[in-house]
C-alpha cells in the first residue's frame, strides 16, 4: 500500500515537472515568472517547483536549456544537495558527488543551459555540499540584470572559497546580497565586505545574519566600516546574530546613522553602555534610521529603556524600535508613555512623538497604554494624530476662556478643529463619542462665558432673516 502511494506521488511530481517545462519552453507562459528547483520532499510551492526525482534527476538538463531561452523568469530558488553524505574523517565536510554521478552530470548540463539566461533578477541558493558557485560562475558573469543574491546555509564553503568570492565579484549589477548563517569568521567576513565594496558600489541591501564577523580578528568590522562609507546607496544592514560586542559597535557607529534600516537582533554581547551609544545615535537629528531591530538582545535595564525613550522624544524619523523578546516588564514599557503622549499640557501632547509605530510585535498586550498611543500614531496625517491624542487623553485640559477676547470669531474655528478630527479610521465608537462630547463642551463654554454675545448674535441673525422674509 505504501509503495503504491509513493508511486502515485512520484507520478504527480513528474506530471508537474512536465507542465513546468512546457510553460517555460519558448516563452509559452508569460505569467510564469518564478521557479523553484528542489528535491521532491522539499516544502516549497508545488505549483512552481521542478522536483529533483530519483537518482538521476531526470529532466534537469532540459530545464536548464528552457530557462536559458526564456525572458519571463525573474526569480529562481535552487535547493541543490550536491553531496553524498558527510565525510568519514570530518563531519563538517561533505563528500561531493563524483563527476560520473548522473545527478552531477545533469547539474552540469543544467548550469550550462542556465548560463545564457539574462532575465533572472533574483536567485536564492541553498546548497549544502558541492561547488555550486563554480558551476554557476558563467551565469553570474553573463546576466547583467541579476540584482539580488541570497546564499543560505551553504556548508563546506571553505573548500571552494575562491569561487564563492568570485560569485560576489562577478555579479556587477547586485543591489541586494544576503549571506545567511554560514558562521564566517572576521577574516572571511572582511574579504566579503571588501569584495562588495570594490565591485558592488550600487549595493542597497546587505544582510549578514548568523555569522561571526567579530571572531578571530577585527578585519570584519573594519572592512564593514569601509563598505558603509563607500557604498553611498546602502540603506539596509542586517548583522543580527553576529556576536557584535561594544567595541565592534563603537567602530561601526559613525557610519550607522546613514542607514534607514538596521538589524542588530540576537547580539547578546552588547551591554548597557553599547545600547546607550545606540540611543545617542537615535537622538542625533542627522540620524536617518527608520527601523531599528534589537529583538532578543538581553535588554532589561531601566537605564537602557530610559535612554531609548529620551532619544526618541524628538525623533521624527524612527518608525520601528523592535524590542521583541527582551525581558521588559510593565514598568519598563511605561517609560515610553510620556514620550508618545505627554498629557501634562495640550502643548506637550501636541509635540509628543507621533511617528513611532512598533515596539514589540509578539506581545503587544504587554505594552499597556503605550499600545494605544502606537495605534493612534498609525494615522498618516500626524496633525490628526496629535488632535486625537489631545481629545482622548488631554480633553480635560481643553478650555476656551483664553479665546473669549475674540468673542464669537473663534467659535467657528474651534468647531472646525473638532470636525477635522477623524476617529472613524479605527472604528472606535467610544473615541467618536469623546470627540463629540469635547465639541459640545467647547460650545457650552462659549455660551456660558458669553451669554449676551451669543444671544445677540442669535437674535440679530433671526431679525435680519425676518426682514428678508418680510421684503420677499
Q: Say if residue 423's pLDDT is above 90.
A: no
Residue 200 counted as domain residue: no
Identify the CA nearest to 447 among candidates 460, 458, 433. 458
Query: What pLDDT is stored for residue 437 in this prediction?
Result: 73
Mean pLDDT score, 342-353: 90
Residue-wise pLDDT for 194-230, tens only, equals 999 999 999 999 999 999 898 877 899 999 999 999 9
Residue 251 counted as domain residue: no
Residue 192 counted as domain residue: no
More confident residue, 2 or 370: 370
Kindly report the CATH number assigned to the domain that includes residue 11.
Answer: 3.80.10
Q: Which of 114, 144, 174 is the last residue of a domain?
A: 174
Cα 125 from Cα 135, distance rounded (Å)? 12
Average pLDDT over the chain reads 86
- Residue with the three cell numbers 467657528: 412
Which neighbouring-strand residues pair with 262? 237, 292
Query: What pLDDT is stored for residue 361 in this prediction?
Result: 85
Residue 415 counted as domain residue: yes
Residue positions counted in the chain: 472
Residue-wise pLDDT for 453-472, tens only, equals 555 554 455 555 444 444 44
Query: Residue 437 belongs to what domain range?
Result: 398-471
Cα 420 from Cα 383, distance rounded (Å)? 10
Residue-wise pLDDT for 40-95, tens only, equals 766 677 779 999 998 999 999 999 999 999 999 999 999 988 887 666 665 555 67
Whole-model pTM? 0.86
Residue-wise pLDDT for 287-337, tens only, equals 999 999 999 999 999 999 999 999 999 999 999 999 999 999 999 999 999
321: region left, alpha or beta (phi > 0 left; psi from -120 to 50 alpha):
beta
Q: Which of 139, 174, 209 is the last residue of a domain?
A: 174
Residue 333 counted as domain residue: no
Number of folded domains in the chain?
Answer: 2
Q: Say if residue 11's pLDDT is above 80.
A: yes
Q: Which of 140, 174, 208 is the last residue of a domain?
A: 174
More confident residue, 407 or 333: 333
Cα 119 from Cα 33, distance rounded (Å)? 10
Angle, helices 186-199 vs 161-170, to 10°: value is 30
Residue 90 counted as domain residue: yes
Amino acid at each position: 500500500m505504501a509503495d503504491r502511494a509513493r508511486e502515485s506521488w512520484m507520478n504527480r511530481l513528474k506530471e508537474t515537472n512536465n507542465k513546468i517545462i512546457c510553460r517555460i519552453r519558448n516563452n509559452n507562459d508569460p505569467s510564469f515568472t518564478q521557479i523553484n528547483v528542489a528535491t521532491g520532499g522539499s516544502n516549497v510551492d508545488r505549483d512552481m517547483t521542478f522536483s529533483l526525482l530519483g537518482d538521476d534527476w531526470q529532466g534537469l538538463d532540459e530545464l536548464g536549456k528552457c530557462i536559458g531561452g526564456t525572458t519571463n523568469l525573474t526569480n529562481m530558488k535552487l535547493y541543490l544537495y550536491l553531496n553524498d553524505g558527510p565525510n568519514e574523517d570530518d563531519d563538517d565536510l561533505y563528500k561531493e558527488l563524483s563527476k560520473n554521478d548522473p545527478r552531477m552530470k545533469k547539474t552540469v548540463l543544467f548550469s550550462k543551459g542556465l548560463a545564457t539566461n539574462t532575465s533572472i533578477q533574483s536567485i536564492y541558493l541553498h546548497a549544502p555540499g558541492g561547488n555550486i558557485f563554480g558551476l554557476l560562475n558563467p551565469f553570474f558573469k553573463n546576466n547583467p540584470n541579476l540584482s539580488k543574491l541570497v546564499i543560505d546555509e551553504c556548508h563546506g564553503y571553505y573548500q571552494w572559497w575562491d569561487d564563492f568570492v568570485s560569485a560576489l565579484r562577478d555579479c556587477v549589477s547586485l543591489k541586494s546580497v544576503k549571506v545567511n548563517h554560514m558562521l564566517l569568521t572576521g577574516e572571511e567576513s572582511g574579504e566579503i565586505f571588501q569584495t562588495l565594496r570594490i565591485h558592488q558600489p550600487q549595493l542597497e541591501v546587505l544582510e549578514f545574519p548568523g555569522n561571526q564577523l567579530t571572531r578571530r580578528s577585527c578585519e570584519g568590522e573594519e572592512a564593514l566600516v569601509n563598505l558603509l562609507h563607500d557604498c553611498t546607496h546602502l540603506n539596509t544592514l542586517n548583522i543580527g546574530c553576529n556576536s557584535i560586542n561594544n567595541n565592534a559597535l563603537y567602530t561601526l557607529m559613525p557610519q550607522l546613522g546613514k542607514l534607514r534600516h538596521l538589524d542588530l537582533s540576537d547580539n547578546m554581547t552588547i551591554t548597557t553602555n553599547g545600547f546607550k551609544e545606540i540611543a545617542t545615535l537615535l537622538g542625533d537629528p542627522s540620524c536617518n534610521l527608520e527601523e531599528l531591530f534589537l529583538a532578543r538582545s538581553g535588554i532589561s535595564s531601566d537605564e537602557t529603556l530610559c535612554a531609548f525613550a529620551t532619544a526618541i522624544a524628538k525623533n521624527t524619523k524612527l518608525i520601528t524600535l523592535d524590542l521583541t523578546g527582551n525581558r521588559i516588564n510593565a514598568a519598563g514599557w511605561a517609560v515610553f508613555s510620556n514620550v508618545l503622549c505627554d498629557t501634562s499640557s495640550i502643548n506637550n501632547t501636541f509635540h509628543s512623538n507621533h511617528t513611532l509605530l512598533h515596539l514589540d510585535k509578539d506581545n503587544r498586550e504587554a505594552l499597556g497604554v503605550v499600545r494605544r498611543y502606537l495605534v493612534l500614531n498609525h494615522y498618516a496625517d500626524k496633525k490628526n494624530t496629535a488632535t486625537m491624542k489631545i481629545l482622548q487623553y488631554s480633553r480635560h485640559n481643553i478650555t476656551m476662556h483664553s479665546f473669549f477676547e475674540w468673542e464669537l470669531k473663534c467659535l467657528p474655528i474651534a468647531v472646525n478643529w473638532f470636525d477635522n478630527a477623524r476617529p472613524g479610521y479605527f472604528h472606535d465608537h467610544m473615541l467618536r463619542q469623546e470627540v463629540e462630547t469635547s465639541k459640545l463642551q467647547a460650545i457650552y463654554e462659549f455660551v456660558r462665558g458669553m451669554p449676551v454675545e451669543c444671544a445677540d448674535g442669535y437674535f440679530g441673525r433671526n431679525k435680519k432673516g425676518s426682514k428678508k422674509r418680510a421684503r420677499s
